Structure 1
Amino acid sequence: MSHTNSNTIILRRQLAELTKHPVEGFSAGLVEDDNLLEWEVMIIGPPDTIYEGGFFKARLSFPEDFPLSPPKMRFITPMWHPNIYADGNVCISILHPPGEDQYGYEDSGERWLPVHTVESILLSVISLLSSDTPNLDSPANVDAAKEVREDLQGYRKKVRRLVRRSAEEAFD
């Protein structure tokens, strides 16, 4: 199932680049060598945050018309965060298709653009995890958002528990 169109050329180039010059904070590779549209990534919990010490596995699934449309990103490691759905799907502006946001929360400039790369996506996710104040405007995980508002200590404790478990599982 090899596509020799431009999207796989772009993805192959990005993969080569990340292999040659790894970026601090994550690693990325293909799930299967012959499929450039499915990537597995490992995000390392950013230092000095409640995620420090964690190892978070995720999948990036690229559409056939990449880079015109954004990939989807889903954490496989259990996450507890207002901007990550309970099923692990990541909800951030950069992964939303171009055009106006029907809910009016986002400036179209924050959304997906074909210049974005695997690196810029993962750096956005790392900055999402690094932020002390998650965006509670249109939460993907309503319960996590509610806990951030009503019991920040409890929220942080729950995240730390997941972080410890992720570290244990990473080295199983």
Structure 2
Amino acid sequence: MAATTGSATLLSKQLKNLQEDRSLSNISAGLINDNIYEWEVMLMIGDDCKFYGGGFFKAKLTFPTEYPLAPPKMKFITPIWHPNIYTDGNVCISILHPPEEDKYGYERVEERWLPIHTPTSILLSVMSMLSSPNDESPANVEAARQWRDDPAAFKRQVRKCVRDSAENCWD
């Protein structure tokens, strides 16, 4: 129970910091059903993002009780077309992978989860990922293929996601 209490206390502080940080006005976060281990986040993407600018994307962060020793999981609730996001919305980014050797040899251990990461650093990394997809290790193979081989079609698909996200952001 002590680990749970410690992680809950840390998460409470981190949520408060994220909510009070005025430089993060494009990120909103709150608890789901008053559960400190489940957060709903809204990423309001600025026009500086080449593809997803103007989008409003809801996501869920789910933290293990072992946090910060183990990484959370992040899943987009709003449909999003991106090479590093599975079609079910789960995010595939190195810092959310467990801190162990990559059996495929793609990622170095230091690129994976470290306890110094915070919900804020995760969300900022995901927003950066939206601007710079990695098609070398895709979660959505079709999106990665389109990103590489048919950029115009990729951009059309993404713009549709952005329009839909804006229409449905308050549902």
Superposed pair shares fold, TM > 0.5? yes
Counterpart amino acid of residue 166 in structure 1: S
1:80, 1:124 → 2: CA distance?
17
Moved more, 23-32 or 140-149: 23-32
What is the percent sequence identity of the aligned residues?
58
Mind listing any 5+ residue stretches in structure 2 that lack a counterpart?
Answer: none
Query: What corresponds to 2:164 in structure 1?
Result: 165
Distance 1:169 1:10, change over 3 A: same
Give the paired residue count.
Answer: 167
1:14, 1:39 → 2: CA distance?
12
Counterpart amino acid of residue 154 in structure 1: A
2:36, 2:14 → 1: CA distance?
10
Offset, 1:100: 1.2
- Work out whether residues 46 and 129 of structure 1, in 8 Å CA contact, stay in contact via their aligned partners in 2: no
TM (norm. structure 1) is 0.92
CA offset digits 1:12-68 (Å, max 9, x no partner): 0101112222414311111122x1000000011232321111000000000111111
Aligned pairs (5 A) from 1:1-172 = 5-22=5-22, 23-33=24-34, 35-48=35-48, 49-131=50-132, 134-171=133-170
Structure 1 runs, 4 residues or longer, greater than 6 Å off: none
Mind listing any 5+ residue stretches in structure 1 that lack a counterpart?
Answer: none
1:155, 1:89 → 2: CA distance?
19
Distance 1:4 1:95, change over 3 A: closer
- Work out whether residues 46 and 126 of structure 1, in 8 Å CA contact, stay in contact via their aligned partners in 2: no
TM (norm. structure 2) is 0.93
Q: For the aligned residues, what is the CA RMSD?
A: 1.4
Secondary structure at 1:38 match in 2: strand
